[in-house]
Every structure is written in structure tokens, then in C-alpha cells.
Amino acid sequence: MSVVSDGKKAYRLLRKALASRSAVQRVRRTLSGQGPHPEGRFQVAVYFADGDVNMYQMRQWYRPLADLAERWPVVVLARSATAAEKLLAEDGPPVAFVPTVRNLEKFLAKQDIRVVLYVNQNTRNFQMFRYGRRWHVFINHGESDKTYMTTNQYKAYDYALVAGQAARDRLTRTLWDYDIERKTIEIGRPQADHYSGVLPYTPDERMVVLYAPTWEGDRPSAHYGSVATHGEAIVNGLLGTGRHRVIYRPHPRSGVVDDEYGAAHRRILAAIAQANASDPAAQHFYDHGPELGWQLASADVAIVDISAMVYDRLAAGKPLLITRPADERASIDVKGYLSACEWLTVGGAANIVGEVDRVSVDDDAVARLHTWVQHYFGDTTQGVATAKFHAAIEQLMQKWDQWHVRDADDIDVDDDDDDDDDADDED
């Protein structure tokens, strides 16, 4: 068995290497056709070292970055060919393909990058941290109460742009000797200012339910995924009523670790296809597209796992249920929103229609929801978060100017000292 397993692993690695090499060639041809970036064009960079499997972390920033680029032109430093290819094909910011450190250094030498933004904690971020005289800023790819949100890696960044008071509370509880007031800047949820898109269905009297589970996780403490425990009961229960429309949006990594998780995902897809064949007017939808926005804004009720999707939906201020992990080893922060959320247990999933109806009409549940929205995101009035994001970058640019002037003054002082020493030598 071990020989077979090793053979499969070797085959997968070979396929991955060949796919990566092909992607490199395609990216270089595309960029060659576009011509080089103008020197000195960019002062803000987004560093992205992941491949295309984690492109969801970048996509949610496309529109906020496009707004920012009207004031401060933005470029993505893509280390992976598969990610660079996706960025070039999609409506993202300009791309610099820098697979090696030498490529990265050459690009930085021709640009005036003053602020570097990071959407995740990839270990290759440290290859970028080596470059000083610029601000390294963690902006993350979502807001949540997962343990990922309190990693000690926050200390590696000069600053972190966080959603609101809840994020600061989490970091205060967890990190030792971390200067919350100086190192974090609240910006709300700029992505929520862009919750839009073309609906893939025709609205009618049906209640729209978004089921957006996360992946299975790669360790027990992160076993938040519900596809294999809650998912089939949720989807099958709603498909059978004739009065619900299901939008199924699973995490793109679903099934990469656990084969049974992937099998449950495929059974859900088959059930949706069968339901649509039986009743085409139902227009249930398997959503695996890159765009995230219309799902959160249009769904009457959302069912999500412990993930950033909880807080993406929370920012919309509409009813939601959070699946309670079946694995008791999963780490749950019950000091924040999860201490007062509407849980959906495995048993509750068997009565999903009743649970969905309950959170839709429960006035107390709605009132609690809006209290937590304020705690996590502050003022969610349209445009406020975008303004905060822009103000944060402006603040960092001003701080860069201050340090740049101070460095220039130090150089001038050193030059004067050298002149005095030369005069003394001549005497």
C-alpha cells in the first residue's frame, strides 16, 4: 500500500510541476505582450505568494483596490505562475510576476513601493519582509473568530488593518506585549461596499437560502467544515419544500484533505442537479464563481461554517445560522459573536426548514444581530468603510514621508561630519 501511495504522490507532484511550468510560459507571453510597467508607477503593492487555489483571498479585494488605485496605483506581486495567470485573466489589479527573489528585487528597484499589503500568512511573506524603508501591512482576506485571526505572526507586520473593535479585543486577549493602539487601524469591511453582481436566478416568492460551508481543515482544531456532517441534510431538506431556493457555495478547497468530504460535496451537487431537473423553476444554484457579493446581499437566510463567511454575511446585517462543528476538538472562540450566534447543530440540520423559518422571524435574533454588526464593523453605512481604508493608506503614506525626511536629514548630518573629518586631516 505504501508503494502505491508513494506512486500516487509522485504522480501528483509531477503533474503539478508540469502545470506550473506551462503556466509560467503562458504568463510570460501575456506580460511580454503587455509591455513593461512604467518605472516609478506604483507606490502600493499587494504581495501574494499563493497559487490559484487560494485566489479567493485576492478576489474579494479587487474592487476596494480598484478604488484605492484612483489615488495610489496598486500592483500585485505574484510569486506563483498559476495565481499570476488568474490575476491577468480576471478583473484584478496590474500584475508583476516575480517568481524568484532576483525577479522581486529587480522590480522593486524600478518602483517606489512604500506600502506592501498582505492578504494571508504565507511563509514566503518573510522573503518580502527583508525589504525595509516601506510599511508591511496585514489586511487579511476576511474577518472571523478563527484562531488564524490571533496568530503571533501579526507581530511581524508594521501595521494591521482590522475590521473593528472585535478584532482588537481578540488580539488583546491572545497576544503578549502587542501594541494594539499603535499597530492596528480600524477600517470596517470595505468589501461590503461592493456587495453586488448579476443574480443567476429570477427572484420570485421563494425564500433564498445561501449555504456556504468552508473546507474540512488540515488539523483537528480547524475542523469547521460541515459538508460531510450537516451539508446533505441541509440541502436535501430545503430542496424538498418547493418554497426554498438553495445557493450552494462551498470553499474551493473542499475535499483536498478528506476524500469523504469531497464525496459528500459531489452528492450535494447531484441532489441540486436532480432537483432542478424535476422543477426547473426552482433555479437552485451551485456557485463556484470568483465573484462574492450578490450571494451575501440577496439571500434571505445564510448558513455558514466558522470562517470568514460568517463575518462577510454579518456585515450585510441579515439573518444567518452558523453550523456547530461536529468535531469537539475544533477550536471555537466563544468570547465574540459565536457566544451569541444562532447555532445549527447536526441534529438541528435534520430540522433545517424549521430553523430557517425561526431565524427569519425572530425579532430578538435580529436585534442581537445588529448589536454584533456594530461591534465587529462599526458604521456599516455605504461608503464609510471604503473611506476608512483610503484614510488608513493615506496615514501610512504620510508616515512614510516623515521617516523619509528623517532619513534624509540623517544622511545630510553624516555628510557634514565627514567633511569636518576631512578638514581635520588636512590640518
pLDDT tens digit at each of 427 positions of the chain: 566 566 666 656 666 676 778 889 999 999 999 999 999 999 999 999 999 989 989 999 999 999 999 999 999 999 999 999 999 999 889 999 999 999 999 999 999 999 999 999 999 999 999 999 999 999 999 887 777 889 999 999 999 999 999 999 999 999 999 999 999 999 999 999 999 889 999 999 999 999 999 999 989 988 999 999 999 999 999 999 999 999 999 998 899 999 999 999 999 999 999 999 999 999 999 999 878 899 999 999 999 999 888 989 999 889 999 999 999 999 887 778 988 899 999 999 999 999 999 998 888 888 888 899 999 999 989 999 999 999 999 999 999 999 988 887 766 555 444 444 333 333 3
CATH topology of domain 207-377: Rossmann fold (3.40.50)
Contacts of 351 (CB under 8 A, 6+ apart): 237
SS3 content of the chain, % helix, strand, coil (to 5): 55, 10, 35
Using a 10 angstrom Cβ sphere, with 0-12 exposed, 13-18 middle and 19 or more buried, the burial of residue 173 is exposed
For residue 59, the number of C-alpha atoms closer than 13 Å in the C-beta half-sphere is 18
Q: Start-end ranges of CATH 3.40.50.11720 in the chain?
A: 31-188
- Copy the grid coordinates of residue 109: 528597484
Decide which of 1.10.630.10, 3.40.50.11720, 3.40.50.970, 2.60.120.620 is the CATH code for 31-188.
Answer: 3.40.50.11720
Cell 427569519, located at residue: 360
User: Which residue from 312, 245, 325 is spatially nearest to 281, judged by alpha carbons?
Assistant: 245
Do residues 320 and 313 lie in contact, with contact meaning Cβ atoms separated by under 8 Å?
A: yes
Domain with CATH 3.40.50.2000 in the chain: 207-377
